[in-house]
Amino acid sequence: MSGRAKLLIVGGVILVAIILLLASTYKVKEWQQAILLQFGEPRAVVNKAGLYFKTPFVQNVEYFDKRVLGYDAQSEEVILGDQKRLVVDAFVRYRIVDPLLFFQSVGSEEIAKNRLGAILNASIRQVLGQVPLVTVLSGERATLMREIRGLVNRASTGFGVDVIDVRVRRADLPEENSQAIFRRMETEREREAKEFRAQGEQESQIIRSRAERERTVLLAEAERDATIARGEGDADASKIFADAFQRDPEFYAFYRSLQAYSLALKQGDTTMVLSPDSEFFRYFNQAASEPKAPPP
């Protein structure tokens, strides 16, 4: 046998040995857990990271994640306890705690997500279907989430998983409901605006009426004070005239006649026809009949 043939044989043996070595070992990482299967039957569960041996071509390994996994459910329309509709967008976070049970019950993570999605949807409908919309939007929402998580956990116990959290990411009204609510809110705001305007007009009328009443009272009081002042003035004038008349009646009569002349003999279109010896011209007649004083 030539050296070249021996070299090929040695190389082939080494290659086969390497293949057998690789086929007889498997590695589990820190974030993984594995199940050793022999002809599809579980033989061992490996939870620790490291390098392990298996029978080549007879045994194979299934890997599962130790980390927290998530499933984002599709938006679903839910009928609440008060018959209102709500579009709910939720998600679930879980961890595989029993890889053997998980493998035997669901087989793979994809199937597990589908099963959990169905359980989550049913749990949301069961819990939210018993409460009104106000409760969903209030501070009791956290309590509802705990109830949903409890239902999902109990329903998924046989999957070998632990449900860590269930959350409603978004809860919206359907589009047609949103439009109806918007129109109702718009109508309510318009009603409140009209009510406020009516109240403002009423307050304006009250203020104007009060101001008008106060104005009338002030004018009446001013007129009263003016009348009193005029009366007092007339009384004082009458008293002054009476005192003057008592002191010199002749002079008072002369003064009053002068006032009458001043008023009656103003320039104008009025014509007066009187007798020359009338009492009205008494002082004129006296002045004319008195002798004139000689010049000095």
Q: Give the integer Cα–Cα distance in Å for 135 and 111.
A: 33
The answer to whether residues 102 and 35 touch, using CB atoms and an 8 Å cutoff, is no
Name the residue among 197, 141, 147, 145 with its Cα closest to residue 167: 145
Q: How confident is the model at residue 207 (pLDDT cuts 50, 70, 90)?
A: very high
Asked if pLDDT for residue 289 goes beyond 60, the answer is no
Query: For the packed helices 249-264 and 282-289, what is the interaxial angle rounded to 10 degrees?
Result: 110
| Tens of pLDDT, residues 101-150 | 999 888 888 888 888 889 988 998 888 888 888 887 777 878 888 888 88
Q: How confident is the model at residue 274 (pLDDT cuts 50, 70, 90)?
A: low
Cα 207 to Cα 274: distance, rounded to the nearest angstrom = 63
What is the token pair recorded at 191? 């009603």
Comparison of pLDDT for 271 and 37, the residue scoring more: 37
Residues 92/145, Cβ–Cβ less than 8 Å? no
Q: For position 14, what pLDDT does the model report? A: 78
Nearest to 164 by CA among 218, 228, 104, 96: 96
Average pLDDT over residues 271-293: 58
pLDDT beyond 70 at 288: no
Own/partner pairs, 22-25, CB within 8 angstroms, 24+ separation: 23/56, 23/57, 24/53, 24/54, 24/55, 24/56, 25/51, 25/52, 25/53, 25/54
> For residues 224 and 221, what is the distance between their CA atoms, to the nearest angstrom?
5
Do residues 64 and 94 lie in contact, with contact meaning Cβ atoms separated by under 8 Å? no
CA–CA gap between residue 47 and residue 51 (Å, rounded): 12
Q: How far apart are CA 36 and CA 134, in angstroms?
A: 52
DSSP annotation of 92 reads E
pLDDT for res 175: 65
Determine which of 72-76, 127-131, 168-172, 267-271 has the lowest per-residue pLDDT on average: 267-271
- Report the pLDDT value the prediction gives residue 7, as an integer from 0 to 100: 72
Share of the chain residues as helix, strand and coil, in percent rounded to the nearest 5: 60, 20, 20
Least confident range from 3-12, 217-226, 271-280: namely 271-280
- Average of per-residue pLDDT across 229-239: 85
User: What is the C-alpha R_g of the chain?
Assistant: 59
The pLDDT tens digits of the residues spanning 159-206 come to 889 888 888 877 776 666 556 667 778 888 888 899 999 999 899 999
Higher per-residue confidence, 185 vs 66? 66
Segment 272-278 shows an average pLDDT of 60
Q: Which CATH superfamily is domain 69-173 in?
A: Band 7 domain (3.30.479.30)
pLDDT in tens, 82-94: 788 888 888 889 9
At position 180, the amino acid (one-letter code) is A
Query: Distance (Å, rounded) from C-alpha 3 to C-alpha 121?
Result: 71
Reduced to 3 states, what is the DSSP secondary structure of residue 41?
A: strand
Transcribe 153-216 into DSSP letters.
HHHTGGGTEEEEEEEEEEEE--HHHHHHHHHHHHHHHHHHHHHHHHHHHHHHHHHHHHHHHHHH
Q: Give the number of other CB atoms < 10 A from CB of residue 13.
A: 10
pLDDT tens digits for range 13-64: 777 777 777 777 888 888 889 988 888 888 888 888 888 888 888 888 889 9
